[in-house]
Structure 1
Amino acid sequence: MTSLQTNNNVIKNTFFNNVKQKFISFFIDVADVMSYLKNMIKNLFSSPFELKEFFKQCYQIGNKSVGLISITGIIIGLVLTIQSRPPLVEFGAVAMLPGMVAISIIREMGPVITALICAGKIGSSMGAELGSMRVTEQIDAMEVSNTNPVNFLIIPRVLATTVMIPILTIYADVIGIVGSWLGVNIKDDVSLTLFINQAFNSVEFIDLIPAFIKSFFFGAVIGLVGCYKGFNAGRGTESVGVAANSAVVTASLLLIIVDLVAVQITDLL
């Protein structure tokens, strides 16, 4: 009995120590990313801006994400509509369905789901790409040739994600509302014009602006974390996969934290 209790205590202590180490590692990563942001801003105002590379990254981000976001947006709209309709029918409030779904998508579902998808798609891509450049010593070659890798590799990518995530969020909102209209027409027969009018009659200015603003922060987090993890990858080939995986995990956690803070600030307005 004593031996069993000892084993249980060892397992429990090991578990809590592992959790503690994970938390410590996460907050160290956050501090390093903030320091990295400071360095990036310094380079942004002290070096020439790579406009061509910025537009290239914008195109790649949009091209990589638009298909997956389209499918996800339609599914979100359909699921929200199908799941919300029965309780509203029971209370005779079906007319409130378009407005309720529109507010849910615009305020929360659209920005957060889009950011999480892009964290997995774009953040991992940036981490793997820059990590492979670090492993193959391309970044070292840029530094030796007196080319600033932060100015050429990091700043265009971070700014591109900061600009493109809000655009993709708006697109996801539109697709989600269209998906909701399709969901309504499974049981009823409602024209798209009437559905949009009912949806936006319930949407106010305070619903649009905070969601749009926080999507800029989502984009900055995805770009910063993805570039940081890839740029600081180790020398072995396995470090590329580690950088990509770590970029997704850290960015996703930070997105949830940023969203929590944004919701609290919006609630105070």
Structure 2
Amino acid sequence: MEQLRLVGPASLGVSLLTAGFVGMVFTIQFVREFAKLGLTRSVGGVLALALSRELTPVVTAIILAGRVGSAFAAELGTMQVSEQMDSLRVLFTDPVDYLVTPRVLASMVAGPLLNVLCFLMGMGAAVLLADLVYNVPANVIVDSARRALTSYDVLTSMVKSWVFGTVVATISCAWGFTTSGGAKGVGESTTSAVVISLVTIFIADFILSFMFFQGQGDALKQLK
């Protein structure tokens, strides 16, 4: 529960803030270009698809890698170089079961939940900006998003965030668990864990997107 609190509620504020600004930035780009084509009523659907399929899972994973993954790597790395891992083994306690498993499970549970909240925040910020700045009514954005989104989009978004959360926690704990070289080694392990996590997230995102969305789509047909 302590690790779940660290991954979930403690990371919620920065995740929502980031998702809100991402939603507003993409709203600016979509409204400008779609207005030229007379497709303003399609903005909500395109934005909902972009957020659900790619933006919120990846942005949430990046936040987790920077905030939670670095904390996991630094904490376990410090325990490794200070020989606390050996103390656990002397007490007949498996360090992996005691330290790694709770962190991985917490990330697997909190990742999809954070993803859903970030998606709602991104859409809410987009609706607000479109209504106040570009005079696109909120009901137009919401109705367009409702017609474009399907249960498959929601499912794939949750699967992506689950995979990303697992990747971040596993890599961060592995790098922290194999730290050596004192304080310098802890810093190097933390940096490496974050970098490797980010690269792995982007690679996994490509693989999952290729698996889930290969071929022609028909989501935007619902917006005509």
Q: Does 1:257 align with 2:194?
A: no
Cα contact 1:64–1:121 (8 A) shared by 2: no
Aligned pairs (5 A) from 1:48-63:
55-63=1-9
TM-superposition CA deviations, 1:126-150 (whole Å, max 9, x none): 0000011112211111111111111
Residue in structure 2 matched with residue 87 of structure 1 by the alignment: 33
- Asked if structure 1 preserves the Cα contact closer than 8 Å seen for 2:65 and 2:197, the reply is yes
- Structure with bigger RCO (C-alpha 8 Å, 6+ apart): 2
Which deviates further from its counterpart, 157-166 or 208-217? 208-217
Which amino acid in the other structure matches residue 124 of structure 1?
A: S
Structure 2 residue 188 is the aligned partner of structure 1 residue 188: no
Q: TM-score, normalised by structure 2?
A: 0.91
CA deviation vs aligned residue, 1:161-187 (integer Å, no higher than 9, x gap): 111111111111000001111220212
Give the CA RMSD over aligned residues. 1.4
TM-score calculated relative to the size of structure 1: 0.76
| Percent of aligned positions that are identical | 31
Mapped partners of 1:64, 1:242: distance in 2: 25
**1:212 matches 2:158:** yes
Task: Give CA deviations for 1:228-254 in whole Å, capped at 9, x if unaligned.
Answer: 011110041111111110110011111
Q: Which moved more, 1:97-106 or 1:179-188?
A: 179-188
The residue that corresponds to 1:64 in the other structure is: 10
- Aligned residue pairs total 214
- 1:244 maps onto 2:190 in alignment: yes
* Deviation, structure 1 residue 189: 5.4
State the alpha-carbon separation in 2 of the partners of residues 187 and 87 from structure 1.
12
Picking from 73, 90, 94, the partner of 1:148 is 94
Match of 2:70 among 124, 127, 138: 124
Task: Give the residue type in structure 1 aligned to 2:105.
Answer: L
Distance in 2 of aligned mates of 1:99 and 1:189? 13
Structure 1, unaligned runs of 5 or more: 1-54
Offset from partner CA, 1:36-71 (integer Å, 9 cap, x none): xxxxxxxxxxxxxxxxxxx11111111331111111
SS in 2 for 1:92: coil
